[in-house]
Amino acid sequence: MTKPLLKVEGLKKYFPVKKGALGRIKGHVKAVDGVSFDVYPGETLGIVGESGCGKSTTGRMIMRLLEPTDGRIEFDGKELTALGAEDMRKMRRDVQMVFQDPFASLNPRHTVGKILEEPLIVHGMKNAAERKKKVREFLEIVGLSEYHAARYPHQFSGGQRQRIGIARALMTNPKLIIADEPVSALDVSIQSQVLNLMQDLQRYFGLTYIFIAHDLGVVRHISDRVGVMYLGRIVELSDSESLYAKPLHPYTQALLSAVPVPDPGFEREQIVLEGDIPSPANPPSGCPFHTRCPFRMDVCMTDVPPLQETEPGHSVACHLYTEETAGNDNKKLVTEGSI
């Protein structure tokens, strides 16, 4: 069996909340609270969830832009916290990020040529002439033109700027790209162009993607597998087909019910969740979703449900599916075809 390119285990990030003039620590924002998943070479893992559930924090820890509070990250068979300086440099080349807002992430005072050349200079790759050649080549690869190298970011449209952001991420020949809501800021008409480009690049370069998004609609076509996050945890992790055909977690069912159905003959009842997302500084006891769950049982208020595989390739963290509580009548409400 193929080995995962990335292995994340029990990853946590607690941000201290400070109060008063002395800056005493008053508590913690549990932004990521025990997340585990594998990403296999060449696949796309979608990570989905509402604002504030810890998607970007997870991505930033994998990038080593943030130090995890706890947990392990293994990339290409190596534990990241144990890497020496040389291995760390190589890893920084191998893992790149594409951001939501390409305008904020591109230096407005640099030409596109300089922006694209920079990662090569940082990593000591190629001489000046080779770097310029590679810049021209990659502008073409992402659907822009050589002459764009002399222009500045503000001279481009949003979609073109994201193409520049993607080209920049590709310059160091990475293996893994973490795309944090790469199309959320773009017009719907432009979104699919950028998604198609990303898929073409994935095939061409054999890239592996972690694709972060707010809603299940955007990640549907690009993801091989999808992880659904809620309040710092993964509540469901599955291959895409199974997730969209048979969402198990009540939260996934609610998210999916909000995605427009392309087939007009097929109606899906929209599930509107009661209440707001609780604060990650003060998460609910037991299952983090119990305060909003239409199928809440007593056990949900006290015990955290573990992420368990219910069928091959489909895992869910929900007491409706755990051994002891599986006999509950509610279960039949959430089987296939219920929404």
Ligand X SMILES: Nc1ncnc2c1ncn2[C@@H]1O[C@H](COP(=O)(O)OP(=O)(O)OP(=O)(O)O)[C@@H](O)[C@H]1O
The amino acid present at 246, given as its one-letter code, is K
Kindly state the DSSP code that residue 150 receives in the 8-state scheme.
G
Among 7, 15, 36, 244, binds ligand X (CB under 6 A): 15
Structure tokens at 181: 């809501």
**Contact status: 234 vs ligand X (CB under 6 A):** no
Instruction: Give me the helices (H) in the chain, please.
Output: 55-62, 85-94, 102-105, 112-122, 128-141, 158-170, 188-205, 216-219, 240-245, 250-257, 298-302
31 binds, among ligand X, Mg ion, none (CB under 5 to 8 A by kind): ligand X
Question: What is the spatial distance between Cα 64 and Cα 106, in angstroms, rounded to a whole number?
Answer: 20
Question: What is the spatial distance between Cα 170 and Cα 98, in angstroms, rounded to a whole number?
Answer: 10
As measured in angstroms, the least distance from the Cβ of 137 to Mg ion is: 31
As measured in angstroms, the least distance from the Cβ of 338 to ligand X is: 27
As measured in angstroms, the least distance from the Cβ of 211 to ligand X is: 13
As measured in angstroms, the least distance from the Cβ of 261 to Mg ion is: 27
**What's the gap between Cα 246 and its chain centre?**
21
**Contact status: 105 vs Mg ion (CB under 5 A):** no
159 binds, among ligand X, Mg ion, none (CB under 5 to 8 A by kind): none
The pair phi, psi for residue 63, each rounded to 5°, is -75, -10
Size of the site for ligand X (CB under 6 A): 13
Among 8, 11, 31, 226, binds ligand X (CB under 6 A): 31
As measured in angstroms, the least distance from the Cβ of 229 to ligand X is: 7
315 CB-near residues (< 8 Å, 6+ apart): 236, 237, 238, 307, 308, 309
Site mask for ligand X (CB under 6 A), range 186-205, x = bound: --------------------
**Contact status: 165 vs ligand X (CB under 6 A):** no
Q: Which chain residues interact with ligand X by CB under 6 A? A: 15, 29, 31, 49, 51-57, 214, 280
